Structures are given as structure tokens and as C-alpha cells.
Amino acid sequence: MKSEYSTKFGSPYPMGLSMRDGAINIVIEFPHSPKKVCGIILYTKNQEALRIPFSDRFRIGTLYCVRLEGPQLTDFSYQFYVDDVVFCDPYARRIEGREVWGKPAGADSVARAKFDSAADEFDWQEDKCPEIPYEDTILYSLHMRGFTRHPSSGVAHKGTFEGLTEKIEYLRQLGITSVECMPMYEFNEIIYNPAYTTFKVQNLPFMEEKNIWEYRINYWGFADKGNYYFAPKYSYGAGKNPVNSCKQMIRQLHTSGLECIMQIYFSKEQTPSFIQEVLRFWVMEYHVDGFHLMGIGLPMELIGNDPVLKRTKIYCETPMTERIYEDGQIPQFRNIGCYTDDFRCDSRRFLKGDEDMLARISTYVKDNSRYEAKIHHITDYRGFTLMDLVSYDRKHNEDNGEDNRDGSDYNYSWNCGVEGASRKKAILSLRLSQRKNALSFLMLSQATPLLMAGDEFGHSTGGNNNAYCQDNKVNWLNWKWDKQGQELFVFIRELIAFRKKHPILHTKEILRAADYASKGYPDISYHGEQAWYAQFENYNRHLGIMYCGLYETKPDGEPDDFIYIAYNMHWVTHEFALPILPKEYDWQIAYGTRPRIEDKQNDELLPVEGQQQKNVSVAPRSVLVLVGRKAEKKNESITTL
């Protein structure tokens, strides 16, 4: 069989295996093997069929570039070898042996790469990336498996790319523009660690009883080793072609006007050139719209100046924008973003009524930059869900098997008087209001908001703030909502619509808190019990913020409205004095976060004909939003939550 194949000097690009002019082009790096025997092993039907050594004359530096010619080079699996060491292609586009999620067979063995000559023949049907500006973006972070794995999801292919595709209409109705997916590249979800001998892993049906104490699930997908960054996760595909499954999902997202953002974690072992190659690959081969990058020492200067990635969203904790835009030029498409926990921590403290938070909150509401976008979030996969944020004072990670020592001790949460689940109507009502308050913080600030999947209807992990190993109903979203879940979903849907309707709430330029355009009002201003006089003393917990819509234009060419937001995180009612509007304008109530049954203020505060409302009472722990618009338009419909 060996005589049927021949090798020649190949092209040094792309890395891995690719089809070129009827032959297979192989490019692999053997950094320590110039004097060792190295090559490729081909497998058919799980049996080694051929071992082909690479001649040193095919080497450029530490790269071996080989053109393999012969019959039936269409469908096989392969590995590389150096002497007696066998390993998988780090540039593999498809991995064999991980077809079934959670199957420990092969957990300690070397994965095999799968080569399919037809893998690049996907019909994109003139697909085009939406390229939605950050200021118009609503991010939604989800786990590919957990999003639809629960029996209540109502999809045909649960826990897969196809399952997400079936939920696209739901995302559109919610108002989402961009879906951020936790790792969907190939990773090893089986963790073996003898140190966890006291932990009994759940949901591993393939595991032998004698080993049941030694394995656990890496549900999130973040790992230093065992990642194959060029291959979509096989078990996330419903059929036998995860490449097509992933591409079809992204194509359908684009058809529906939504973007696909990938979370990718890179360990210190990955070189800058490798990281750049991974990002380029997903943009060119899968039409991915952006990346949420994680890891230490990311080569942001290299990534930010890559012409292939110039119109791809890229955000991380330390974007180093000053190095990317050294000349001070504002990019045509602002693609770099900054994702930190600052807003999350401070807004949580403000939510539960901590003192000395007003100065920070007043800065966050106008948090913006002409160079890098700001990404705000109240919750993400690390820490409490929004429901748990208002239901638990302490973490409850006992099921993780680490004696509740894992996970952050700093949640800045408040249980509203009862730890965990409660049936008391007063507690449930307060928790609902608090979640509405938190979502208002998120959606009414200038930065790009990120909503965690399930927060829109009340998903809870039972107080587990580090559920990285829970592949079960702790993490799977339950799509059977109670009445509060239904109400919260309608609230956030309308709140997103309210944000989109008013461009002054998501401007491209930085708000200056000054009347720089001679509109008679600053673009943003702060107020309290007296108009134009904010009370920033450390003991205060209430603040009024007014956006002047005259600085922004709606799609119909008309100037935007005035928006007044009264935040009262105090446990007592506060009176706010409303600024006087131009005489042809009136204030109207848009929404309040207290339940309708408790909050009669919406009926009491509607403006009297020909008279502007001067004061407004805001209930404890609530947000009240008013819209100032011209009198002749006061009867036009406004988004009312």
C-alpha cells in the first residue's frame, strides 16, 4: 500500500491538512525533531493503515511541508508521530473520538484528527456578516449545550448547534443582536484528577462504577490542554458533520440579522502567531463576527492590527487600545472592546443599597470611549445568576465536591431577607423588583450591555456560583416559566426595545455633561431632590439622571426625546425634582420597576393638561423612567413596561 503514495515538497500554508490540486498538503511543526523520525499515521476504520515518514528535505525551519499524492485521499483519520510519541494535529478541523458528550472512553488517550476533502464545500449562499456597531449591540451570552439541553426547551435537537438555530426567533423577539457562545471549539469535557476522590460525578452514563469517583465534567470548556481550536465541538452537532452543523447555525443567525461571537480561552502555551491564526480561521472559514478573548498575555497589538480582523468584534479584559491606535485615529469600524468586572461589582453594591456608590454609578451610565467599546454585564458564567443575586447572601457550591471552598466569596449579593427559595409574596415581589432594577442599570447605561442567558426569565443554579462541573439541571435552562418569569421576560424585552428606540441611550460619541452644541441643556445631567443639584454624599442612595435627546436624531430624522431616570436604591421613598423642559414639552411616565399592584404612582403622575410635572415620588428600591417629548406628540405611543 505504501508504494501507492508519494511525497513531494508542499506549500507552507495553511497549517494542518488541506486539499490542493487533487493532493493533500500537510504542514506541521516539529520544533524538536530535526534529527528524529517523524511523519504521519493514516487510519481507516480505526485501524492503522499507513505510516509515512517525512524527509528532512521537506523542512523549512521547524515546519514540515509535504504534498501527499495517491489514490482515495478523501476520507481518513490521522495522527502525527515523532519517534514513539504520537499526537494529534493542533490544526485539525475535525476530531474523532469525542462524538458523544461526556463519554470518558479515550479520556487519557490521544485524539485523532479527521480529514474530509469535502469539508470546505459548504454553500454559504451569499452570507454576509451584519457588522453591527457596538453602540447598537445587545449581547447575549449562552452555553451551547445548556441553552437547549433541558427537556422543556421544546427543540428537536437538544444541546446542539441545531438546537440554538431553533431558538433564533426567540432571540429576535427578545431584541438580541449578538449571541456570545461559550467555548464551541473542540475541548475535552472529561476531567481526571485523583485529588477529587471524594466527589461523585453526576450524568456520566458511560463511566464504570470503579472509576466513578475519579472523573468530573468540564462543563464550561475552559482548559489549558486538550483543546483543538480549529474544530467545532463534535458533540454539539446533531449529526455526523459538526462542521456543517456549526456553519449552518452561523449562516442562519446572519440571515436573521444576528451576530455570532465566540468565547475563546488561550493558555500561556499558545504563541501569538497561533492565536492570530485561530482567529483568522474562524472569521474566514466560519464567518464568525467576533471574539471574547480570555487568557494572560494575549497579543492584542498583533490582533488589533490584523487587516483580516479589522471589522471583527474583539474584546477582552486588557485590549491595549493605545498600542493599536497609536496615531490617535478613530477607526472606521470600532472593533476593539473592553470587558471588565468593574461595572458588575459596583452596580451590584448599588443594587443592594451600599453607601458611597453614587459617584461611581454616575460615571458608569456614560461609560464610553471613541476608541474601544465598553462591555457592561451584571452577571456572567462566573458567579451568581441574576435570580441568585437577589436570593442568596452566600455561595452554595457543595455539589462541586470541594467543600464549598471553590468560587468567589465576593458576590455583592442580597437575599432580600430569606436565604434561597421562598414562598413569601413580599420576598418574591422584592426580588422581582430588584431584578428589574439591575436590568435597568444594564440597559440604560451607554456601554454595550451583555445579558446572561436565562436571566431574562429567572434561571437559578441554586446558589452555586461556580457551576463549572454541573452538566445537569443546575446549568440547563428550564423553559417552563412561572408568572414572575413571564413578567420579567416581557419587561426585559420591552426595556431592550426602549433602549433601541432612543439613540441618546446608546450614543457613538462620548457624553460630556456639557451644553457643547448650544441646545440649552447638557447632553447628560445629574439631579436629586432639587433639579440640577445631585446629592453625591456617601450616605445617599438615590440619583436622578437626564439625557437630552436633542443631541441625537432618530431614524425618522426627528430629534430624540428627553429621558429622565430616577434611581432610588434606598429603603425609603425619595422625592425627585424634575428639570423644566422647553415649554412645548411634557413629561410622561415610561415605566417603573415596582410591581403594578403595589405602585400607584404611574396613575398619579401623568402630566396635567398644559402643566409640566415638577416633582415625582420614587418608591424604595425602584427605578422610575420618564420621557420628555413635545406636547403635540404626548399621546403617541411610548414603550411602557
Sequence-distant (6+) residues with CB within 8 A of 537 are: none
Alpha-helical regions (H) of 375-450 = 386-389, 425-443
Sequence-distant (6+) residues with CB within 8 A of 321 are: 304, 336, 338, 369, 371, 372
Task: Put residue 297 in one of left, alpha, beta given phi > 0 → left and psi -120 to 50 → alpha.
Answer: left
Check if 2-116 and 514-633 are the same fold: yes
Confidence of residue 498 (pLDDT cuts 50, 70, 90): very high
Please, which residues bridge with residue 326 across strands?
none
Most confident of 85-99, 254-268, 365-379: 254-268
Q: What letters, b where the CB count within 10 A reaches 16 and e where it falls short, cover 490-511?
A: ebbbbbbebbbbbbbbbbeeeb
pLDDT in the model for residue 118: 67
Are the beta carbons of 77 and 114 closer than 8 angstroms?
yes
CA dihedral 95, 98, 104, 109 (to 10 degrees): -20
Query: pLDDT, tens digit, for every residue of 202-249?
Result: 444 444 444 444 678 999 999 998 899 999 999 999 998 999 999 999
Selection from 229, 207, 227 nearest residue 217 by Cα: 207
Which superfamily is assigned to 514-633 in CATH? Golgi alpha-mannosidase II (2.60.40.1180)
What are the backbone angles phi and psi of residue 587, rounded to the nearest 5°? -85, 140
Selection from 470, 165, 480 nearest residue 157 by Cα: 165
Confidence of residue 108 (pLDDT cuts 50, 70, 90): very low
Cα–Cα distance measured from residue 58 to residue 216, given in angstroms and rounded to the nearest whole number: 43
What are the backbone angles phi and psi of residue 49, rounded to the nearest 5°? -105, -30
Selection from 543, 549, 546, 513 nearest residue 528 by Cα: 543
Alpha-carbon 562 to chain mean position: 31
Q: What angle do CA 349, 354, 356 make, to 5 degrees?
A: 105
pLDDT in the model for residue 109: 57
Between 425-443 and 342-351, two packed helices, what is the crossing angle to 10 degrees?
A: 140
Fold of 2-116: Immunoglobulin-like (2.60.40)
Alpha-carbon 502 to chain mean position: 24
Alpha-carbon 335 to chain mean position: 16
Poorest-pLDDT segment among 196-200, 249-253, 524-528, 540-544: 196-200
Selection from 544, 552, 546 nearest residue 575 by Cα: 544
**pLDDT over threshold 70, residue 608:** no
Which superfamily is assigned to 134-187+236-341+367-503 in CATH? Glycosidases (3.20.20.80)
Query: pLDDT, tens digit, for every residue of 173-204?
Result: 999 999 999 999 999 998 876 554 444 444 44
Poorest-pLDDT segment among 121-125, 126-130, 274-278, 593-597: 593-597
Cα–Cα distance measured from residue 227 to residue 613, given in angstroms and rounded to the nearest whole number: 60
**pLDDT over threshold 60, residue 466:** yes
Alpha-carbon 470 to chain mean position: 19
Q: What letters, b where the CB count within 10 A reaches 16 and e where it falls short, cover 189-204?
A: bbbeeeebeebebeeb
Sequence-distant (6+) residues with CB within 8 A of 611 are: none
0.85 surpassed by pTM: yes
pLDDT in the model for residue 194: 54
> How many C-alpha atoms does 504 have within 13 Å on its Cβ side?
25
What average pLDDT does this structure show over 27-43?
83
Between 483-501 and 425-443, two packed helices, what is the crossing angle to 10 degrees?
A: 20
Are the beta carbons of 163 and 179 closer than 8 angstroms?
no
Most confident of 110-124, 486-500, 581-595: 486-500
Cell numbers at residue 638, please?
A: 411610548
Cα–Cα distance measured from residue 566 to residue 186, given in angstroms and rounded to the nearest whole number: 47
Q: Average pLDDT of the chain? A: 90
pLDDT in the model for residue 482: 94
pLDDT in the model for residue 635: 52
| Domain residue ranges of the chain, discontinuous segments joined by + | 2-116, 134-187+236-341+367-503, 514-633
pLDDT in the model for residue 103: 78
Task: Put residue 257 in one of left, alpha, beta given phi > 0 → left and psi -120 to 50 → alpha.
Answer: left
pLDDT in the model for residue 236: 97
**pLDDT over threshold 70, residue 640:** no
pLDDT in the model for residue 509: 87
pLDDT in the model for residue 325: 85
The more confident residue out of 640 and 100 is 100
Selection from 112, 121, 69, 67 nearest residue 92 by Cα: 112
Confidence of residue 277 (pLDDT cuts 50, 70, 90): very high
pLDDT in the model for residue 308: 96
